Amino acid sequence: MSAMLAFFARHSHRHRTRLRRPVRIPDEAPSTDAIFIVIRRMRSPLVFITTVFAISVLGLSIIPGKDANGNATHLSPFEAFYFISYTASTIGFGEIVPFTTAQRMWVTVCIFMTVVGWAYAIGTLLSLLQSASFQDAVAMQRFRRKVKRIREPFLIVCGYGQAGRQVCRELDEAGRRFVVIDRSEDRIQRIATDELQSDVPALEADASLPSVLGMAGLANLHCEGVLALTDDDTDNLAVVMATTLLRPGTSVIARCMDRVVEERMDDFAPNAVINPSDRYGAYLVLALQRPATYALVKWLMDPRDDEMPKPFLPQPGGSWVVCADGEFSEEVTSDLERAGMNVTVADPKDGHPDVSRANGFVVGTDNDTTNLALAEHAKIARSDLFVAVRQQSDARASLVSALAIDSVFTPTELVAQESLARVVTPLFWSFVEYAVQQPNEFAEGIIARLTAHCGHTGKERMLVDLSAQGSPALHRWLLHDELTVGQILKSPDGRDEHLPLVPLVLVRNGEHIFAPDESTTVTTDDHLLVVGHRSGLLALHETQYSDAAAEYIATGAHVPETWLWRKLKRHRPAA
């Protein structure tokens, strides 16, 4: 247990930071606004058309005409301007007065000159509309308008790869607003086809630039956090740096694969740095030492509606074989050795390692197909062998399921799950940190309560705020009477029935009470985190807002729903 305590303590520790000079968050676009691009590109065509127009008007006013008596006349500048205007614009009302041959020849020349001018202008305009610079400028202005219109808490997600995409999907399902930045145009275009419920502001840009983060709303008072989930550790470091320096106190969570870069991030004190290789080794040790705790934590963090897995029962003694590349091999080997395991490191290039005397086998090369092949060979050699496999993506999830792999490590999935656990319901992550520090019996008790009330599938979470704003009906009841956690979790349709919900954390005056007993009384300032089925959450929502439901779960008395009937009942004479 000491290894797990050290692991989670190391990642939750906030370094001391020095005072820094406050500066304005830049939000200037790195490219020119669309209107200035239009003016700059259309300047030459407009000058050409204006010149043609001026020459045409001047020539027509100078060339003499003849009146009905054959006397020489000249069009006034205004008449010439009027005629050239409707002629050059292709309206063509005809001659104001009968023209002479010289005037008609000049008009013919003017028509051809204006046709050339319009062709030049239209061609330039079409080329402008198709240019990448203009489209980028328009997209950036549209992005900035969307961000400014957000009037509710939102997150900035930097990177829309596998991890970022999974995080955004879950945030969208949870009704949370977010803004996306990514370098890849294809990834940004993919947002439009992902069928997200909300209109997501997305920008193809370099998230490591402070001005881009500024345009994404870092200075916005509604911005409550930044997720640095790009595929480049240096870019994630830049995001952490910009966020903590430009807006201190803002929550920032970063993904990092390189230990050196991770240490540099720690100097800027982010809320969390998730190194998936390092984290997986700790989870693997947790599965071996406290299997019930591992099963509970992983099941609660997994957004999929899978049943709770049965805890793995490790065999005593034996050794472990790690067949992997690079830092993943080093991290997993180090974690297993710290947990007291005898570890043999095998080179994937040497073929199939000997697992005849091993209790566990971890395979993590850079090739997903090779990993599955090595895992299957190990299972054929030892059917009772515990096999853990690394997969770079979930594209082969069906093959993994068919092979019945005991533990699957997908770096992007682990990053997404831990990020979501921290940002969707921050109180839930405090429960995770507490659970991994408790003995296995603690998790077994929670699993027993979940199984009894929710079965094996209900794991949706909700934070119940007992204030006047969060739960008005319950708050009004608590002002003059008591309620317990167990009473709150009674069904408003029948108080003998327990809702399919289990309390995880009760927060009172900043103090966290984990897995509170249902006999615990609550107060008007408490917050209660519950987990269970959606049906239970909907029923609890009714209790929060219905005075009749609140009184019923507390006393068992059925009371009228409306204010009028409650008044009549209160003043009804006794029989």
Distances 7 to 328, 437, 532 between C-alpha atoms, Å? 16, 10, 29
Scanning the structure block, which residue is given the tokens 């079965």?
A: 455
pLDDT at 574: 42
Angle of the 411-423 helix axis to the 162-173 helix axis, nearest 10: 30
Give me the domains of the chain, ranges plus CATH numbers: 35-130 (1.10.287.70), 147-268 (3.40.50.720), 277-411 (3.40.50.720), 458-570 (3.30.70.1450)
Residue 42 has pLDDT above 90, yes or no: no
Segment 379-390, tens digit of pLDDT? 998 888 889 899
Q: Taking the chain, what is the end-to-end CA distance rounded to the nearest angstrom? A: 66
DSSP of 33-90, one letter per residue? -HHHHHHHHTHHHHHHHHHHHHHHHHHHHHS-EE-TTS-EE---HHHHHHHHHHHHTT
The structure tokens listed for 468 are 């006047």
For the question of whether the overall pTM of this predicted structure is more than 0.75, the answer is yes
Q: Which of 73-82, 391-400, 463-472 bottoms out in mean pLDDT, i.e. has the lowest?
A: 391-400
- Residue 100 — φ and ψ, nearest 5°? -85, 170
Q: Which among 90-104, 449-463, 553-567 has the top mean pLDDT?
A: 449-463
Helices (DSSP H) in 387-467: which residue ranges?
A: 397-403, 411-423, 426-435, 440-454
pLDDT digit string (tens) for 371-416?
Answer: 999 999 999 988 888 898 998 877 788 888 888 888 888 888 889 9
Is pLDDT at 5 greater than 50 in this prediction? no
Which residue, among 301, 306, 297, 314, has the nearest Cα to 444 in the 3D structure? 297
Helix (H, G, I), strand (E, B) or coil at 22: coil
Report residue 373 as tokens: 């092949």
